[in-house]
Structure 1
Amino acid sequence: MAISSFDTKNPQSKATAPIEIHCVKCESCGFTEECTFSYILRVRERYQGRWICGLCIEAVKDEARRSDTIISTEEALDRHIRFCNEFRASSPLDETVHPISAIGRILRRSLDSPRPLRSDSGSVLPGFQDSISSSV
């Protein structure tokens, strides 16, 4: 797939060279993203030749920050990959389950669940109710 970009300031200019987009699968969670080749190379340089998705990059950074001792990016990546593998192994009935899919299901459930109703007494600041009543 190739995407062309145009100069928006000079609409008469010709299209620049097409940007090649590649599909690449995260070596940690299995999520697939479409990325430019240069972005794929940058990620692989930072993560010991492995390509990981943006969500796993953030998880690796968090893993390094949460560690009690100072650990390398490689160690944080290894820990995250181990976690993802253990997560998938914990649900042998459905081999297509990935951590990202599970997070998506949790998010959808929380959005679909009914919200608790708030009582009117606690929703207005004290003294503010009087000013609302008098202005109506």
Structure 2
Amino acid sequence: MDAITKIYDEVIQADCECCGQKEDCTKDYIVIVKNNHAGSWVCGLCSGAIEEYLSKNPGKTMEEAVSSHNEVCQNFNITTRINPKLTLAWALKDIAKRSLKNRMVKNSTKLNIYRSSSCIPTLKN
């Protein structure tokens, strides 16, 4: 029973510096995560997102990746958590804007060919 109490005493609650999620971790694990993420403790979900960001942006540093993900989390907490319906409306508006922009780009690259005369012969009475 004494060993279980000792292990339990070593577990502390850590707050993710990006999303604010709380996780129960050992002090050793917290040190490892901080060393891997430029001195910031991040939860497993944020860690995965940061790693994905780095894989898509090979020239970026870990500090830039953590900072970028932190901004995403802060924007999510400010907008989506406060008013999810309004956020859905903004997302749909952004999708519509991108769709319109893509259609305009596609249409501008097409060649416009006009007829000089009708292909239907003139009807005589």
Question: Same fold judged by TM-score > 0.5?
Answer: yes
| 1:1-136 paired onto structure 2 within 5 Å | 4=4, 18-19=6-7, 20-67=10-57, 69-91=58-80, 93=82
The structure with more radius of gyration: 2
Q: Distance in 1 between matches of 2:3 and 2:15?
A: 20
Percent identity between matched residues is: 31
Q: Which has the higher contact order (CA 8 A, sep 6+)?
A: 2
Q: Distance in 2 between matches of 1:37 and 1:92?
A: 30
Other-structure match for 2:120: none
Q: Which amino acid aligns with 1:76?
A: A
Q: Deviations over 1:65-122 (max 9, x none)?
A: 122x51111111111001101111224736xxxxxxxxxxxxxxxxxxxxxxxxxxxx
Alpha-carbon contact 1:3-1:21 (below 8 Å) kept? no
Q: Deviations over 1:14-47 (max 9, x none)?
A: xxx8221000110101110000110001111122
Q: Pick closer, same or farther for the CA change 1:45–1:3 going to 2, 3 Å.
A: farther
5+ residue gaps in structure 2?
84-125
Q: Pick closer, same or farther for the CA change 1:66–1:50 going to 2, 3 Å.
A: same
Alpha-carbon contact 1:24-1:32 (below 8 Å) kept? yes
The aligned length equals 80
Task: Name whichever of 47-56 and 83-92 sits farther off.
Answer: 83-92
Q: Distance in 2 between matches of 1:77 and 1:3?
A: 37
